[in-house]
Amino acid sequence: MSLVVMAMGGTGGHIYPAVATAKELMARGHAALLLGQRGGMEQRVAAEQGLEFVGVDAGKLARSGQGLADPRQLWRAALGVVQARRVLVGRQPGAVVGYGGFASLPGILAAQSLGIPTVLHEQNALLGLTQKLAAGRAKAVGTSYQEVRGLDLQKATLVGMPVREHRLERREALQQLGLQDGPLTLLVMGGSQGSLFLNENVPGILEGLFPGGMHGGQAVQVLHQTGPRWIEQVTPSVAHLPWYHVSPFVDAVAAWSAAHLGITRAGTSTLAEAAFHGVPLIMVPLPESAENHQFHNAVSVQQAGAGRVVEQADVAGKLGQAVLECVQPGNLAAMREAARRRAQPGAAARFADLIEHHLRSPTP
């Protein structure tokens, strides 16, 4: 059996698929090592998941796609590649797997410079900047979509989006989260780092919709993941609402297992986890996402009957209406079924199959 290094980090959308795949490979007898940015979110997640982690420096890529943001970031990226090479030379993995995002680049470039097989996972329908830099020398690319613009079709294999395929009984999830069993439960989650826009706008809208935490005789409770940067800003705005619970982080498995409805952005990882748990969504796509891919992601969910799209510019006028439409019992039940039909169970296993196909033989 081999050691497989997961080069990932930066956001939950790049980290949690790596965690899911690492655990699948470990169940098959392989060893897994997470390689990411020192001090980044991935270091905390690895500790929580009981996975080995090594941190290196990573330069942040500019959103514009014009390369690294400044020379200091270029220096950090180069230093990270040197550090990653030392790790890989010492550990001799059978493959290095890249999940996109700036924090994955040192590990992937280091592996390719050493002749170690690399496999990528592209979660979006448009090949990301870091993946473009690595795809030419990669052995294969697992994808979440049938077609990925900018990717050589000969290297692409549709595997789906790896998620942690674990559910909790709803009562257990509610207890773990400190929530009540009985109320209609809404989950507000702006990605792993939180969303300033959702943090600033959603609490006031939901307070107006549900006076006293009630809707038509039904109790309502909200679990809102703010992200660590914004918790001190959001907490005072909802302190007078005993039914509105805020946290910098939540356990995603418990949160999805407890939720009846989510109010989220529209990243591929979020949509995949919601589908696995059968949770309908009201999606507010991030307007600055590359080529507006979050909007297109959200539209596909809406067309499947599993959610509603509310564009950011329309939130003040349309979000409340969308929530009220979705929480009608008949609508909610139908949307839950539609969400379940969108799930791609077994994605982590299919991606692990692809990785195993390209593993080099262990060094004696």
Which tokens hold the place of 132? 């473009």
pTM greater than the 0.75 cutoff? yes
Does the CA dihedral 16-170-297-223 come out positive or negative? Answer: negative
Burial profile 131-163: b = 16 or more Cβ within 10 angstroms, e = fewer: bebbbeebbbbbbbbeebeebeeebbeebbbbb
Q: Using DSSP, state whether 283 is helix, strand or coil.
A: strand
Q: What angle do CA 14, 151, 163 make, to 5 degrees?
A: 30
* Cα separations in angstroms, 46 against 9, 15, 35, 65: 10, 9, 10, 29
User: What is the enclosing helix (H) or strand (E) of 214?
Assistant: strand 214-215
* Cα separations in angstroms, 89 against 36, 46, 119, 226, 248: 16, 22, 18, 40, 37
Alpha helix locations (H) across 210-292? Answer: 231-238, 252-258, 268-277
- Burial of 91 from C-beta contacts in 10 A (0-12 / 13-18 / 19+): middle
CATH topology of domain 3-163+345-357: Rossmann fold (3.40.50)
Q: How far is CA 234 from the centre of its chain?
A: 22
Q: 284, 314 in Cβ contact below 8 A?
A: no
- Which of the listed CATH numbers 3.40.50.720, 3.40.50.2000, 3.50.50.60, 3.30.70.260 matches domain 170-342? 3.40.50.2000
pLDDT string in tens for the chain (364-residue length): 899 999 998 888 899 999 999 999 999 999 999 999 999 889 999 999 999 999 999 877 654 444 455 778 778 889 999 999 999 999 999 999 999 988 999 999 999 999 999 999 999 888 888 899 999 999 999 999 888 989 999 999 999 999 989 999 999 999 999 999 999 999 999 987 889 999 999 999 999 999 999 999 999 999 999 999 999 999 999 999 999 999 999 999 999 999 999 999 999 899 999 999 999 999 999 998 877 889 988 999 999 999 999 999 999 999 999 999 999 989 999 999 999 999 999 999 999 999 999 999 765 5
- Burial of 25 from C-beta contacts in 10 A (0-12 / 13-18 / 19+): buried
97 - beta bridge partners?
6, 119
Annotated binding site for UDP-N-acetyl-alpha-D-glucosamine: 11-13, 124, 164, 192, 294
| Residue ranges of the chain that CATH labels 3.40.50.2000 | 3-163+345-357, 170-342
What is the identity of the amino acid at 105? Answer: L
> How far apart are the C-alpha atoms of 349 and 362, rounded to whole Å?
21
Annotated binding site: 11-13, 124, 164, 192, 294
Q: How many CB atoms lie within 10 A of CB 326?
A: 20
